[in-house]
Structure 1
Amino acid sequence: VGRAQGHASPPAMTQQHPGRDSPPVWWTDMAAADGAAPLRVAEWENGPEWRRENGWTGSDFVHAQTAPVHIPGYLLDSPGGGPRLVGAAHFGPAAESHRGLCHGGTMCALMDDVIGWCGFCASGTCEPWSGFTVQIDTSLRAPVAVGAWLRVEATIVRREGRKVWVEASLSDPLACSDGRPRVHCEAKGLFLIKKEDTLKSGGPLSCERL
């Protein structure tokens, strides 16, 4: 119960989100690479009816297909020893603030999401709702154009007991300066793992590493 059974077919995109059904090649290549480990999360994949039946009352703020800024999913690996999540984020017209540019809060929302989900992976496998983000320090480096697809990434850099420190970034792999992707946003976060007695009485774990 609570696990997605296979990849759900994404619903057709409306005109409100042009380009959302055409993720960039750099992301599709990463997702299709040998050894790629996508997170499978039931509340992202199984639709609104499943969410209602399992206690949710609305759509996911970041992972819903209709969200102003949308992450279709994350890949989990451990290139430097600590768990890392990588995803692609699409900024739709509903994220607009200044003409043609997205609200800075959309970048902050992405940092909150990827830091939280990276914290859920502190054990090396994904355990949703096994803790919570208690602090995020975000630096906005460059504006984001409406319609952009950007790379979002978070890595666990330190852990002491229940405390987990995570660093995250939002960048454009196709816009490089001095051989490095343009960074739009960076963040540092502190994630706190629940106490064991809290974990045992927590909600269902609905995610697995494939």
Structure 2
Amino acid sequence: MTSRRSSLDASAAHAGGFFLDDTPTEEVDRREAVLESLAGTVRDLVDAAIRTTVEDEEVLRVRDDLAALVARLRASQLPGPAGVRFNADRRSWNWGNAVVGAANGIAPPLRVVHGPDGCHADVRLGAAYEGPPGLVHGGVSAMLLDHIMGETASGRRRTAFTGTLTMRYRRGTPLGPLRLEARVVREEGRKIFVDGSISDAGGVTVEAEGIFIQPAGTPEFPRT
């Protein structure tokens, strides 16, 4: 246990939250699967907490049980955010990300598929992402589009950061299965212009236009 933890926490070099890590890819894959299973259970817990109708006494008992579990996880943890890590095999991992993080129970999570014409992702949003009754919170829509559009702009090579993001909410986005899409429209120097959308079975519910910027001197970081 000690050797695994020290390997995962060690960083040979870092730049702005991007860490070069010496953990072997096989170990990263194994650990990621474990954390994904934990995060999935946390999502189930959040949904259950929102929709439960059990008696107050039972809620308080569950609260106490959860406090004990949290203490067990905090017995060994990173000193701060997880950041983005990558190893010599060009395997990268971003476990704390609020949209795609394998270890993040807040993340839906989004599974972004890169294609020749852009990116897309299919996701199901439940009670934890509700804004207006039965509809996805507008801020959640913006967060998801910001992420998939940023990944599209970065093109799996060099990180691009959001400069501007303009949202157009065409109608309410219902909770349930949704598709996100994004594509690069054009590039001007370090500026990358991206269009994105969210759709349900009835068509587009949200549209977005963004300008993403690759800072001067930004190194290339692998994405997997």
Does structure 1 retain, via aligned residues, the 8 Å contact 2:81–2:96? no
Specify the SS of the correspondent of 2:139: helix
Paired residue for 1:161? Answer: 189
**Number of positions where the alignment pairs a residue of Structure 1 with one of Structure 2:** 156
Gaps of 5+ in 1: 19-47, 177-181
1:207 and 2:223 are equivalent in the alignment? yes
Higher share of residues assigned helix = 2
Aligned residues: percent identity?
A: 23
Deviations 1:36-62 (A, max 9, x none): xxxxxxxxxxxx99x937853794222
Post-superposition shift, 1:117? 1.3
1:89 lines up with 2:123 in the alignment = yes
Q: Is the 8 A contact 1:135 1:190 kept in 2?
A: yes
- Name whichever structure is richer in strand by fraction: 1
Equivalent in the alignment of 2:157: 127
Partner of 1:61: 98
CA distance in 2, matches of 1:77, 1:134: 23
TM (normalized to structure 1)? 0.62
> For residues 1-210 of structure 1, what are the structure 2 equivalents within 5 Å?
1-2=20-21, 5-6=28-29, 8-9=32-33, 10-11=36-37, 12-13=40-41, 14-17=44-47, 52=78, 55-56=81-82, 59-64=96-101, 65-67=104-106, 70-79=108-117, 84-121=118-155, 126-127=156-157, 130-146=159-175, 148-172=176-200, 175-176=201-202, 182-196=203-217, 199-200=218-219, 205=221, 207-208=223-224
| Structure 2: runs of 5 or more not aligned | 1-19, 49-73, 84-94
User: TM-score under structure 2 normalisation?
Assistant: 0.59
Q: Is the 8 A contact 1:71 1:87 kept in 2?
A: no
Give the match for residue 33 of structure 1: none
Kindly indicate whether the alpha-carbon contact (under 8 Å) linking 1:167 and 1:187 is maintained by their aligned counterparts in 2.
yes
Please tell me the residue identity of whatever aligns with 1:137: T
Which letter maps to 2:199? S
1:19-45 C-alpha deviation (Å, 9 max, x unpaired)? xxxxxxxxxxxxxxxxxxxxxxxxxxx
Q: Over aligned residues, Cα RMSD in angstroms? A: 3.2
Q: Distance in 1 between the 2:204 and 2:139 partners?
A: 16
SS at match of 2:148: helix
